[in-house]
Amino acid sequence: MPRSASLLPPCSSCVNSRTILCFEERCLRFPCGELIQALRVDSSDLMLLEYQDGRVLRFLRRGEFMMKLVKHSFSPILVAACTVGCVHWPLARDAPVFRVGCRSFLVAVPGLLYALRFPPTCPEQRMVFLEVLFMRFSDYSDLSHIQTDMGASDNDPSFWIRARNKIRTSLDSKLLQSGYFAGISPTAVGGQRSELLRVCRTSGTAQVVMKAVLTGILQSVHTDIHEMKPDAENPSRPVDIPEAYPNISVFTNLMEALELAWAVSSGSSHLLREAGGVKPAMLKPSDFNTWSLNKSGIVCLVKLLVHTGENPDRNSSNQLASEPEEGTEIDREGGEDEDMNTEMIFPVMHRGD
């Protein structure tokens, strides 16, 4: 099956990076796009560093890691997402990823901070290529010296707490400069403040966006393409590939729409708080295109999310990890994960609301 050569990462310090992708890539064709498995690692651990309680490192899932790319057939739209087991999260060029150890990463989606760990048995070649992919599809920073400086093992929960503290200033700055919030979502009020609930919604939203692109539900009328900005200081600068990368707002706007709907329908709108005066930052000159959802796109996909939440496929592998009875504090181990009722992902919307 032919591969999408335009999705190959740019040349990097790893001279074999293109060879690795050709070896790893699997491509499935759908009516309106292609689903590409760019990288697979047999084992990984996904955890959550909570904002509400800085002492808690919550175990989410242990399982196979995959990075998936979706390319639309009739527009330049791309979607990139990662999975560990059944838990998905999106990547975006304005969503930070920090490498904090040889096989350890902190991955941010506004409102959430994931800890991603690979075992020592994971081949170094795969870690090199994962870094190449993160460089391509996220706001990536290599701070792997943090683990060396601390002299700590990523098996120690306190390592992740300390690593989060070291990158927190940079993380918050990146999010605020891009026009997002740092910490808990300002529209998450009342029962919506659960970070595990946001993990579930993030996973469901990433899957719905990918499926909407592949099946043609998401059409050009639903999206805005933001073309690369000319650089006055270097007008002849070569451009990147013509594909358009998603802004992380593609996903966060959908989640915040659900949070707002809950606040209004439950009579809790008085709990909504301002986003601390955060305003969208000016787009800086860049060598890549981006895309976002317009109002009609948000309405279209929120309806799809509601339908997904009300009609879960209980036989699918898309069940998400449930909340353990207690999180993993820095001085003890966490509990086991279980399957979650997928109706919990979108509990706020009901037919007729």
Q: Please tell me whether residue 46 adopts helix, strand or coil conformation.
A: strand
Q: State the pairing for strand pair 139-142/33-49.
A: unpaired
pLDDT, greater one: 67 or 309: 67
Residue range 9-36: mean pLDDT, rounded: 63
Condensed to tens digits (0 to 9), the pLDDT of residues 182-215 reads 888 888 888 788 999 999 999 999 999 999 999 9
Single-letter amino acid, residue 137: F
**pLDDT tens for residues 107-149?**
999 999 999 999 999 999 999 999 999 999 999 999 999 998 9
Across 254-271, average pLDDT: 85
Does residue 291 register a pLDDT over 50? yes
Two structure tokens written together for 157: 């929960």
- Percent of the chain past pLDDT 90, that is, above it, reads 56
Mean pLDDT of the chain: 79
Question: Has residue 241 got a pLDDT over 90?
Answer: no
**For residue 199, what is the enclosing H or E element?**
helix 195-215
Please say if the pLDDT value at position 84 is more than 50: yes
What pLDDT is recorded for position 7? 56
Mean pLDDT in residue range 21-42: 83
Q: What's the pLDDT at 96? A: 97
Better pLDDT: 151 or 271: 151
Q: Which residue has the higher pLDDT, 285 or 128?
A: 128
Residue 33 pLDDT greater than 50, yes or no: yes
Q: How confident is the model at residue 230 (pLDDT cuts 50, 70, 90)?
A: low
C-alpha 338/C-alpha 262 separation (Å) is 26
Spell out the residues 6+ positions from residue 149 whose beta carbon is closer than 8 angstroms to its own. none
* pLDDT band for position 22 (cuts 50, 70, 90): very low
* pLDDT confidence bin for 25, thresholds 50/70/90: low
Please give the pLDDT value at position 235: 53
* Residue that the structure tokens 């729409």 belong to: 257
- Per DSSP, the residues of 148-195 read HHHT--TTSHHHHHHHHHHHHHHHHHHHHHTT--SSS-TT--GGGG-H
Taking alpha carbons only, the member of 328, 323, 57 closest to residue 193 is 323
> Higher confidence at residue 287 or residue 178?
178
pTM as predicted: 0.80
Residue 20, pLDDT score: 39
Distance, CA of 107 to CA of 213 (rounded, Å): 24
3-class SS of residue 219: coil
DSSP string over 77-124: BEEEEEEETTEEEEE-TTSEEEEEETTEEEEEETTEEEEEE--TTS-H
Is the pLDDT reported for residue 95 higher than 80?
Answer: yes
Least confident of 92-96, 137-141, 184-188, 342-346: 342-346
* Contact between residue 181 and residue 110 where contact means Cβ atoms under 8 Å apart: yes
Question: How many Å apart are CA 304 and CA 309, to the nearest integer?
Answer: 9
**Distance in angstroms (rounded) separating the CA atoms of residues 278 and 28:** 40
Q: Average pLDDT, stretch 64-74?
A: 95
What confidence category does residue 226 fall into, taking pLDDT thresholds of 50, 70 and 90? confident
Is the pLDDT confidence value at 151 over 60? yes
Highest mean pLDDT among 4-13, 20-29, 172-181: 172-181
